[in-house]
Chains A and B, each alone.
Chain A
Amino acid sequence: MLTLMVNGAERKLEVPSDLPLLSALRDNLELTGTKYGCGEGQCGACTVLLDGHAVRSCRTPVSAAAGKKIVTIEGLERNGVLHPVQQAFLDQEAFQCGYCTSGMIVSAVALLTETPHPSDAQIVRRMDGNVCRCGTYPRIVAAIRQAASIGKGAGR
């Protein structure tokens, strides 16, 4: 029996320890906002926060997440208020099909936690592991800039 701390709640799971965290979230905990894109850690669609750091949940065994604070896309909205990064993505309409969006937003939250006021070059460098096949990169950069400009709390 594994205990995960997901989005502030304790969740107990009966799963093999090497099960990818992505499967545990999606199939066992029904948190389907985190997506499968490649299973290689190359696209970033499966990104979640582990103690505040962005990790690829498709390449992270669930046992490595036990005892750590896991935040998924579902955990960013608070009391019906969007996280500033979510709001910025919505304002900039920084998506088309939306399949990469969860991973993009979570990666951006991690970026802004570590670097609250990133330069464009820093945004590009830190986000380069996330793929948006629809090609909305310029809007995503604009959204991260917007979230950063709101200042403190963007990384939350």
Chain B
Amino acid sequence: MSVVNSEPAMTSFEDSILELRQHDQIARLNYGFSLNRRDLFKLLGGGLLVCCVVGKGWSQESGGGRHPEQDLPTAISGWLQIAEDGRITVFTGKAEMGQNIRTSLTQAVADELRVPVTSITLVMGDTALTPYDMGTFGSRTTPYMAPQLRRAGASAREALLALAAERLQSASTNLVVEDGKVTDRVSHKSLAYGELTRGQDLLKVINAEAALTPTTEWHQAGVDTAKIDGRAFVTGKHKYTSDLTRPGMLHGKILRASGFHAELASVDVSKAEAIAGVKAVHDGSFVGIVAPDERTAVQAIQAVQAKWSVPPQPSNANLFDHLRSHLDSDRPPAHIVGSVEKAFAQADKQFAQSYDVQFIAHTPLEPRAAVAEWQGEKVTVWTGTQRPFGVREELSQAFRIPLSNVRVIVPDTGSAYGGKHTGDAAIEAARLAKTAGKPVKLVWTRDEEFTWAYFRPAGMIDVKAGIQRDGSIMSWEFHNYNSGPAAIRTPYAIPNQHIEFHPADSPLREGSYRGLAATANFFAREVHMDELAHLVGIDPLQFRLLNLEDPRLRAVFEAAAKRFGWSRIKNSSSRGVGIAGGTEKGSYMATCVEIAVEADEIKIVRVVQAFECGAVVNPNGLENQVSGAIVQGLGGALFEAVKFENGKILNSRLAEYRVPRFSDTPQIEVEIVNRKDLPSAGAGETPLMGIAPAISNAIFAATGQRLRSLPLIPNGLKGVSAKKA
């Protein structure tokens, strides 16, 4: 039963809780280690035991609240330390994986402490050193962590000022904090930060009311700032998890099932163990080996003889039927305003359509990897994850040891895109290392990454709208099945709405992805908007503006259209333009696309995106994120899809799963709308959301073919024509 929700708008906190629920519901690969209470877990697949961990109360971002397991530091020193030589070390549980927050967070602290970014070292994602953090996702670093670190920095500045006033015997009103020192304007005496703290911790409690530097007075933030440690990436010196070695380290491999939900019927490791230096680990449903080197490890795991029984299960062919017929009874309340039934019946025109999206794979170029090392009952794991504290918890549960016995360290990671929330590789490496009695490195192969990671959810979206001849939308009904509730609401001013998310039983392990379901919901909404515009014969941009009150969203639509030359470019059978936009996670985006039709091929010629996320922290870094998101979005829009059949992934090689390449990349122009008067929002996700609907709309403009399924043209236009005929 739907529950009437008369709240005018969901608050961002409620949004984030909804989002957290999705993140936390990623099924965990939990093995039935004998140390586990097996009966707690339900058998899923690959001989793997899976337990759906449901969040225990929605713990907040570090700084925003308290976590039951670890109180957040209230003293400045928990977040920030100043050494005698003046070097500043800042601590955050966030992880860097290419989104460039190491740079943007450093800029924020540098601003508050009145020092250059080069004076600061940011320690990130180390559960032994950094304050608790829920995880790096949801575009939350900039709106939540940056202000938290700014508060620590501003409190430190106040503390330094007070110390200097005492030491210089001067009124604090005479003192200036500048360039790493406090100077008395009258006596011209000054003391550097290191001299003031003498390397002692600043134990003063963080002042929640400390005056943060207003955006108009930013000097380190707000300007182009080169990626910190950039040189280490162009010289190959940066050490990712997979580059680490430990003394005596062995290499591990895991026996993977022949299909999902498989049961291990029998296993024989004797041939593997006959190989010199190889040790097998068989614990519950977990079978793995360690070997002195990677090559021997591969040979050994191939020598393991196992029989699996794989139960019949859904495939691509019946995916959508399966989802529709396996809906969860428990679902979040619908968003209901007015009466869609009445308004729909009374509208001049009615229009209903369905849209769908396939599963896609994150395909981070650095596969999941972990290095685990035990000392007695304590374990340290280096791993590329977005949730170091979450992985610490997973390890603690898997091995039934206290959290304090687990340390997770996240080296700056070779990308994640929402795909590295879980601690799969960490647990596997730790289990191997426990038996081996030596450190173990485990690096997933590309095939494992494509098969045993989780996917962006597939789903269907039904949209039904009632519209007047003058273009005003009177009713809007929107049902998302399985793909997710992110950005499910419409930004358009529509008096009658019924918007609802219907979770379903997914045949594949699914979870977070850059932008979550917002990409699917934007796709359905913005293609439907285009269909409505054509139904009433109004220009698609004008039609959107006609139904749009939000001034920030209007502004990006207008900025994108102007830069693109929307009103000048005419559609023809060989050329089409499309537009799409929306708002999500506090940022605003509009995307214009020009496509060319050449024989049966569609070429994306040009993309212009206007993007607004409040006050811009690092303009060059932001352009990089926006442009990159457009390129990544091209994949899911045009050709990416996970093919699966009866418990097996059919395209688990990069040769079979097409990702965007140089030759797929159009001319991209990014129009940043910098609103220094508004707080900064995150920018890693929303820029990806407009590309798919804008392309679909452009293809319609040129060819008259309305494409409502993602990916749009996995086999070029030819496949589409055949499908429609």
Contacts and interface: CB of A to CB of B under 8 A. Distances in A.
Contacts of B227: 93, 95
A124 B660 CA distance: 12
Contacts of A141: 662
A99 B366 contact: yes
Given A40-B654, A96-B415, A97-B414, A27 B293 contact: yes
A27 B243 CA distance: 9
Interface string A35-79: 111111011010000000000000000000000000011101100
A156 B243 CA distance: 27
A132 B100 CA distance: 16
Which one of A16, A27, A72, A125 has the highest number of Cβ atoms from chain B below 10 Å of its Cβ?
A: A27
B589 to A, nearest CB: 16
Contacts of B242: 32, 35-36
A134 B415 contact: yes
Given A39-B445, A105-B234, A137-B665, A97 B659 contact: no
B415 A127 contact: no
A42 B415 contact: no
Given A77-B235, A96-B99, A96-B415, A30 B365 contact: no
A100 B654 CA distance: 15
Nearest to B413: A97
B365 A135 contact: no
B659 A131 contact: yes
A101 B365 CA distance: 11
Contacts of B571: none
B665 A138 contact: yes
Contacts of B660: 135, 137
A16 B295 contact: yes
B627 A138 contact: yes
A95 to B, nearest CB: 6
Which one of A31, A37, A134 has the highest number of Cβ atoms from chain B below 10 Å of its Cβ?
A: A134
A86 to B, nearest CB: 4
B631 interface: yes
A86 B231 CA distance: 8
B97 interface: yes
Contacts of A87: 234
A contacts with B: majority SS: loop
Contact of B415 (A74, A99, A125): A99
A123 interface: yes
A118 to B, nearest CB: 12
B236 A74 contact: yes
B653 A38 contact: yes
A137 B666 CA distance: 10
Nearest to A86: B234
A135 B226 contact: no
Contacts of A140: 662
Contacts of B412: 97-98
B654 A90 contact: no
Contacts of B483: none
A139 B624 contact: yes
B632 A133 contact: yes
Interface in B261-307: 293-295
Given A19-B295, A97-B414, A137-B665, A32 B239 contact: yes
A26 B242 CA distance: 10
A135 B662 contact: no
Nearest to B415: A97
A26 B236 CA distance: 12
Given A42-B654, A137-B665, A96 B98 contact: yes
B655 interface: yes
A4 to B, nearest CB: 17
A77 B620 CA distance: 25
A101 B245 contact: no
B619 to A, nearest CB: 12
Interface of B: 97-100, 226-227, 230-231, 233-240, 242-243, 245, 293-295, 363-367, 412-415, 417, 443, 445-446, 620-621, 624-625, 627-632, 634, 653-655, 659-663, 665, 668
B654 A131 contact: yes
B235 A33 contact: yes
Which one of B233, B234, B364, B632 has the highest number of Cβ atoms from chain A below 10 Å of its Cβ?
A: B234
A137 B236 contact: no
Nearest to A91: B226
A86 B97 CA distance: 20
A131 B365 contact: yes
14 contacts: A33-B235, A43-B365, A73-B235, A87-B234, A96-B98, A96-B625, A97-B98, A99-B365, A101-B234, A130-B662, A134-B628, A135-B627, A137-B660, A138-B627
A79 B443 CA distance: 33
Interface in A110-152: 123-125, 127-128, 130-141
Contacts of B620: 93
A89 B620 CA distance: 14
Contacts of B629: 135
A82 interface: yes
Nearest to A140: B662
Contacts of B234: 82, 86-87, 89-90, 95, 101, 105
B99 A135 contact: no
B443 A36 contact: yes
B685 to A, nearest CB: 13
A138 B243 CA distance: 28
A130 B233 CA distance: 16
A71 B233 CA distance: 17
A27 B653 contact: no
B199 to A, nearest CB: 31
Contacts of A131: 365, 654, 659, 661
A7 to B, nearest CB: 11
A93 B240 contact: no
B236 A23 contact: no
A7 B2 CA distance: 67
B622 to A, nearest CB: 12
B632 A134 contact: yes
A61 B655 CA distance: 20
Contacts of A40: 446, 653-655
Given A72-B236, A101-B234, A93 B363 contact: no
B659 A96 contact: no
Contacts of B366: 35, 37, 97, 99
Given A19-B295, A43-B654, A98 B414 contact: yes
A30 B245 contact: yes
B680 to A, nearest CB: 19
Contact of A34 (B236, B628, B661): B236
Which one of B242, B443, B654, B660 has the highest number of Cβ atoms from chain A below 10 Å of its Cβ?
A: B654
Which one of B230, B245, B628, B632 has the highest number of Cβ atoms from chain A below 10 Å of its Cβ?
A: B628
